Amino acid sequence: MDYRRPEHTMYEGMGLLFINALLPALVIACANDAFLDYHSIEEIFDIPPPEPGLLHPLRIKKKMMEVPFFQKFDKNGPTGKIDQANQASTRGVTLGHRAGFLGNVTFHSYRNEALVQAESIAL
């Protein structure tokens, strides 16, 4: 498998799916069952690509419009309270350490890697 070539139109020309900035938001929305017509990531990936220049909007449930996108979670699931940026950053660093990174993996790290990948594609 050639990991440098995209395999889905959602990120054509962007390289690997894991560095796509849209993916975490898409996963959070799916986990919250926020979409009106779709209930899993598989259903979203099965959407045929629209014609060039057209969009395929994903409609959001009205009840989700009043809920913070980044929510705190407890043992029972989402609480409906907003998750502050420092908490999300701390979780990212912790996950990076669990994955074996010696340094701290921050949101800036993700952004930097995406920019490096975008620049290499543009050249």
Same domain membership, residue 75 and residue 102: no
Same domain, 2 and 56: yes
Say whether both 73 and 91 belong to one domain: no
One domain for residues 64 and 123: no
How far apart are alpha carbons 69 and 82 in whole angstroms? 8
Q: 57 and 104: one domain?
A: no
Domain count, the chain: 2
- Pair (48, 18) in one structural domain: yes
Task: Tell me: do 69 and 14 sit in the same domain.
Answer: yes
Residue 27's contacts (CB-CB under 8 Å, 6 or more residues apart) are: 41
35 shares its domain with 24:
yes
Q: pLDDT for 27-61, tens place per residue?
A: 888 888 899 999 988 898 888 888 888 888 899 99
Decide: pTM greater than 0.75. Answer: no
54, 18: one domain: yes
Instruction: Give me the domain span that covers residue 106.
Output: 84-123
90 shares a domain with 76: no
Same domain, residue pair 99 and 122: yes
| Residue 50 per-residue DSSP state | P
**Residue 6: its pLDDT value, please?**
43
Our measurement of the distance from residue 101's CA atom to the centroid of its chain's CA atoms, rounded to an integer in Å, reads 20
**Band of pLDDT at residue 5, cut at 50, 70 and 90:** very low
Q: For residue 112, how many other CB atoms are within 10 A of its CB? A: 11
Q: Around Cβ 4, how many Cβ atoms within 10 Å?
A: 10
CA 84 to CA 63: how far, in whole Å?
21
> Which candidate, 86, 55, 51, 59, places its Cα nearest to that of 70?
86
